[in-house]
Amino acid sequence: MTSIDRTAYPRFARVMSARGLAETFTPTDDEVDWARSRTQDEQHLLALLVWLKSYQRLGHFPKLDQVPSAAAAHVRGILELPESVGLEQAAERSAKRHRQFVRERLGVVYEPARVREIAEEAIRKAAQTKDNPADLINVALEELVRVRCELPGYTTLDAMTATIRTEINTGLFAMVAGRVDGAGRARLIRLLLVDPVSRRSEFDKLKEVAQAASLTKFKTRL
């Protein structure tokens, strides 16, 4: 699995400053009124507003246990709720309804099939010239953000990238191998033979670091 830290996948900072909390997690009066009109208790109110502000920052819905505790405390303070009101995962039915509320407010259409199609196309095209999984994931993220799609989970993108990368690379390897004739294959095999005197193979010599360039060496090469 590709480390998420090597990609541009949006995620919360490990430590959030007071300024960052204020800029990211302070709901407007209109947002508070909107959330109150769609929830029936304080816990759901807190969860809905945290999801709204999280989506505005990340472009996807994190699990509530992934939200920094300082962020939940900041929103709770803005709402003037008691500390006993915790940020807990609601029942799946309620959570699904809350996510849909956020999408409707932000004008986001949840289309998993279309999102997957866009990401796959971007990764497949980039894999013709790039091989690093993190680079391929970043290409997919850039395209999804450009067309204003809700980002899929990171593991979804990572698995998609691994599958497409393997498929593309296998095709490239087969193409290259098919172009090598019998004489070429014999030369490749000979690279692995170890000389009993020097105890080195031709492949070992190929890996030697090149010496500094000089006019004399250029003339010798010519």
Look at the block and give the residue holding tokens 């969860």. Answer: 47
Whole-number average pLDDT of the chain: 91
Answer yes or no: is pLDDT of 90 > 70: no
Taking only the tens place, the pLDDT of each residue in 30-41 is 999 999 999 989
Taking only the tens place, the pLDDT of each residue in 168-203 is 999 999 999 999 999 999 999 999 999 999 889 999
Number of helices and strands in the chain (H, E)? 11, 0
- Rounded to the nearest angstrom, the gap between the alpha carbon of residue 108 and the centroid of all alpha carbons in its chain is 20
Predicted pLDDT at 89: 65
**194 beta partners:** 201
**Assessment of whether the complete model's pTM goes beyond 0.85:** no
Do residues 84 and 76 lie in contact, with contact meaning Cβ atoms separated by under 8 Å?
A: no
Predicted pLDDT at 108: 85
> From residue 141, how far is each of 14, 66, 157 by CA, in Å?
21, 20, 9
Strand ranges (DSSP E) for the chain? none
Q: How many whole angstroms separate alpha carbon 13 and alpha carbon 11?
A: 7
Predicted pLDDT at 163: 96
Cβ-Cβ contacts under 8 Å for 38 (sequence gap 6 or more):
48, 101
Q: How many whole angstroms separate alpha carbon 51 and alpha carbon 32?
A: 12
Is the model more confident about 91 or about 96?
A: 96
What is the number of other CB atoms lying within 10 angstroms of the CB of residue 55? 20
Q: How many whole angstroms separate alpha carbon 96 and alpha carbon 106?
A: 16
Look at the block and give the residue holding tokens 């302070």. Answer: 26
Answer yes or no: is pLDDT of 92 > 80: no
Predicted pLDDT at 6: 93
